[in-house]
């Protein structure tokens, strides 16, 4: 098995041309033609993730977030990013990232989140002009039964396994139609309004943005939290194509945001 074959099985549903202009999805470290025998799947690539790959004899890491967003001017032990690259090269570990190409896939990050919440009748929140059926941002879906806003917030917290979620003022409306976008989806709030959603779930919402809508419930579930199911998605894609290939989800917790809950 080659690194290229693993990349190809994911890009069959999420082509690299679907990534945003600012992104750097694809090969990060190593050689696409290199042989690979075991892959470690993570949301982020850190030194600890590379250590885990070494300990588990993985010669490939597939992550959601790219290790390298822009060009590195040098490779020294000065930064965690550079140390991570050096360690991967030293141990002959290839690194591949599937980021906004997987975000923009109709079977990708947001769809998995929507399915975890139990939403039905799923469709893209903001379809792309190039391929409106398969490519675009976010998801919209409905619950079979309307629920109270506080019940919806509890469902989100339980689904994401988080101690708290941030949200805007309660509207007093029942939640039926929900828009969502895993990760930083604030730019698509207007699209959610166009779809007449009762709630919109995403992450990285700024303070003043919570003031903007007065007819929907805005919910910030956290960046890591709303994208955490991407790891299982990537594993499923690999093992669907290559059932006997060794693919393992990283145990290292790379969430850089922590919560202090006052008792």
Whether residue 194 has pLDDT greater than 80: yes
Q: Same domain, yes or no, for 215 and 117?
A: yes
pLDDT digits (tens, 9 = 90+) for 203-234: 999 999 998 777 899 999 999 999 999 999 99
Q: Same domain, yes or no, for 206 and 115?
A: yes
Q: Same domain, yes or no, for 93 and 40?
A: yes
Q: Beta strand pairing status for 94-97 and 26-29?
A: antiparallel
In a domain, 137, yes or no: yes
The length of the chain is 263
In a domain, 122, yes or no: yes
In a domain, 189, yes or no: yes
Q: Same domain, yes or no, for 112 and 97?
A: no
Report, as an integer, the average pLDDT of 32-60.
Answer: 98
Distance CA(241)–CA(10), nearest Å, equals 9
Q: Same domain, yes or no, for 176 and 143?
A: yes
Question: So what's the pLDDT on residue 213?
Answer: 74
DSSP-derived secondary structure for the chain: -BHHHHHHHHHTTS-GGGS-TT---EEEES-TTSB-SEEEEESS--HHHHHHHHHTT-SEEEESS-S-SS--S---TTSHHHHHHHHHHHTT-EEEE--HHHHTBTTSHHHHHHHHHT-EEEEEEEE-SS-TTTBEEEEEEEEEEEE-HHHHHHHHHHHHT-S--EE----SPPEEEEEEEEEE-GGGHHHHHHTT-SEEEEE---GGGGGS-SSSEEEE--HHHHHTTHHHHHHHHHHHH-TTSEEEE--S-----------
Question: So what's the pLDDT on residue 130?
Answer: 81
Number of structural domains the chain divides into: 2
Question: So what's the pLDDT on residue 190?
Answer: 94
In a domain, 255, yes or no: no
Question: So what's the pLDDT on residue 4?
Answer: 98
Distance CA(162)–CA(164), nearest Å, equals 6
Question: So what's the pLDDT on residue 70?
Answer: 84
Whether residue 249 has pLDDT greater than 90: yes
Question: So what's the pLDDT on residue 261?
Answer: 83
Q: Same domain, yes or no, for 160 and 94?
A: no
Question: So what's the pLDDT on residue 168?
Answer: 96
Q: Same domain, yes or no, for 45 and 84?
A: yes
Which residue, of 182, 201, 220, is where some domain finishes?
Answer: 220
In a domain, 256, yes or no: no
Question: So what's the pLDDT on residue 139?
Answer: 98
Q: Are 147 and 214 in contact (CB under 8 A)?
A: no
Residue 166 burial (10 A CB sphere; 0-12, 13-18, 19+): middle
CATH at residue 91: 3.40.1390.30
Q: Same domain, yes or no, for 182 and 238?
A: no
Question: So what's the pLDDT on residue 72?
Answer: 87
In a domain, 141, yes or no: yes
Q: Same domain, yes or no, for 52 and 23?
A: yes
Q: Same domain, yes or no, for 136 and 175?
A: yes
Q: Same domain, yes or no, for 165 and 141?
A: yes
In a domain, 258, yes or no: no
pLDDT digits (tens, 9 = 90+) for 114-134: 999 999 999 999 999 989 999
Q: Same domain, yes or no, for 89 and 152?
A: no
Nearest to 163, CA basis, from 57, 255, 36, 91:
255
Whether residue 200 has pLDDT greater than 80: yes
Report, as an integer, the average pLDDT of 20-36.
Answer: 96
pLDDT > 90: percent of the chain: 93
In a domain, 131, yes or no: yes
Name the residue range of residue 161's domain.
Answer: 106-220
Residue 48 burial (10 A CB sphere; 0-12, 13-18, 19+): middle
């Amino acid at each position: 098995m080659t690194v290229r074959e693993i990349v190809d099985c994911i890009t069959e549903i999420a082509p690299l041309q679907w990534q945003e202009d600012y992104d750097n999805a694809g090969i990060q470290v190593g050689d696409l033609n290199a042989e690979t025998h075991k892959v470690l799947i993570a949301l982020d690539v850190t030194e600890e993730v590379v250590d885990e790959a070494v300990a588990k004899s993985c010669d490939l890491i597939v992550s959601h977030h790219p290790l390298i967003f822009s060009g590195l001017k040098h490779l020294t032990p000065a930064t965690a990013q550079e140390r991570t690259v050096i360690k991967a090269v030293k141990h002959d570990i290839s690194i591949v990232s599937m980021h906004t190409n997987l975000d923009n896939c109709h079977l990708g990050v947001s769809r998995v989140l929507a399915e975890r919440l139990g939403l039905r009748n799923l469709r893209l929140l903001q379809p792309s002009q190039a391929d409106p059926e398969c490519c675009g941002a976010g998801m919209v879906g409905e619950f079979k039964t309307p629920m109270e806003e506080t019940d919806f917030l509890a469902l989100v917290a339980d689904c994401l396994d988080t101690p708290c979620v941030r949200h805007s003022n309660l509207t007093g409306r029942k939640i039926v139609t929900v828009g969502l976008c895993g990760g930083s989806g604030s730019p698509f709030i207007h699209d959610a309004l166009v779809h007449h959603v009762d709630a919109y779930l995403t992450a990285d919402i700024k303070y003043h943005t919570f003031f903007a809508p007065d007819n929907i419930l805005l919910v910030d579930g956290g960046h890591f939290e709303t994208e955490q199911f991407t790891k299982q998605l990537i594993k499923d894609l690999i093992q669907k194509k290559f059932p006997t290939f060794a693919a393992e989800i990283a145990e290292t917790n790379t969430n850089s945001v922590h919560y202090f809950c006052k008792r």
